[in-house]
């Protein structure tokens, strides 16, 4: 007889800014809680748009979260607990160190839902999302609405003219809203 399937897997939600990544993450968090599951929501310390300890969408939907300063901090804040679901927003801020941490959590039986930017504001792949997408069981790739033509936007770019326009800018520069960034399609970026 086959053994029962082992629990623990990875779900990635990715795309450019304004694609609805946080909305989708919070939708999954809320329906899991309705089902009585134990869910831990984690955000990076850099995302303090609505104050620390909050995951929030551009539309103002929000949920209380725990804050981690780096990828290894995620393990520390679980304090030996093993929730059914760990939902991580703004995954790009955690950098490549997030990949083994997510792998370990899923290996320990947790469902890990990871949302983050898969492109930088100058249109390049933004780790760790590409690596997570390649190894996740489930990937949900979202697009936004192009601010120029209304088409499908897989990119976003800075519209603040004073800002440097290269991806070497510290990752903290990726915190911002409609005043700083616009969603753009392939034909209207740059």
CB-closest chain residue to Mg ion: 22
Q: Report what 17 binds from Mg ion, ligand ADP, none; CB cut-off 5-8 Å by kind.
A: ligand ADP
Site string for ligand ADP, 12-41 (x = CB under 6 A): ---x-xxxxxxx------------------
Pick from 57, 65, 92, 120 the residue near ligand ADP by CB under 6 A. 57
CA distance 145 to 80: 41
CA distance 178 to 39: 30
| Catalytic annotation, pick one of 40, 63, 90, 173 | 90
Q: Total binding residues for Mg ion by CB under 5 A?
A: 2
Does residue 70 belong to the site contacting ligand ADP (CB under 6 A)?
no
Pick from 11, 16, 20, 22 the residue near Mg ion by CB under 5 A. 22
Which residues inside 158-187 make contact with ligand ADP, applying CB under 6 A? Answer: 183
Q: In whole angstroms, how close is the CB of 142 to Mg ion at the nearest point?
A: 10
Whether 24 is a known active-site residue: answer: no
Span interacting with ligand ADP, options 42-50, 51-59, 62-70, 98-106, rule CB under 6 A = 51-59
Catalytic residues: 90
């Amino acid at each position: 007889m086959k053994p029962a399937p082992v629990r623990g897997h990875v779900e990635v939600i990715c795309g450019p800014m304004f694609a609805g990544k946080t909305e989708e993450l919070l939708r999954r968090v809320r329906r899991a809680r309705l089902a009585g599951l134990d869910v831990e929501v984690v955000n990076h310390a850099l995302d303090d748009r609505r104050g620390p300890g909050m995951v929030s969408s551009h539309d103002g939907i929000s949920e209380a979260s725990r804050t981690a300063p780096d990828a290894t901090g995620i393990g520390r804040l679980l304090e030996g607990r093993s929730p059914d679901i760990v939902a991580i927003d703004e995954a790009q801020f955690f950098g490549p160190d997030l990949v083994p941490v997510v792998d370990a959590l899923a290996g320990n039986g947790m469902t890990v839902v990871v949302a983050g930017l898969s492109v930088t504001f100058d249109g390049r792949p933004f780790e760790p999302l590409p690596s997570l997408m390649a190894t996740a069981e489930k990937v949900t790739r979202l697009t936004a609405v192009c601010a120029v033509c209304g088409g499908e936007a897989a990119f976003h770019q800075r519209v603040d003219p004073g800002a440097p326009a290269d991806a070497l800018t510290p990752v903290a520069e990726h915190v911002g809203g409609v005043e700083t960034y616009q969603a753009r399609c392939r034909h209207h970026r740059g």
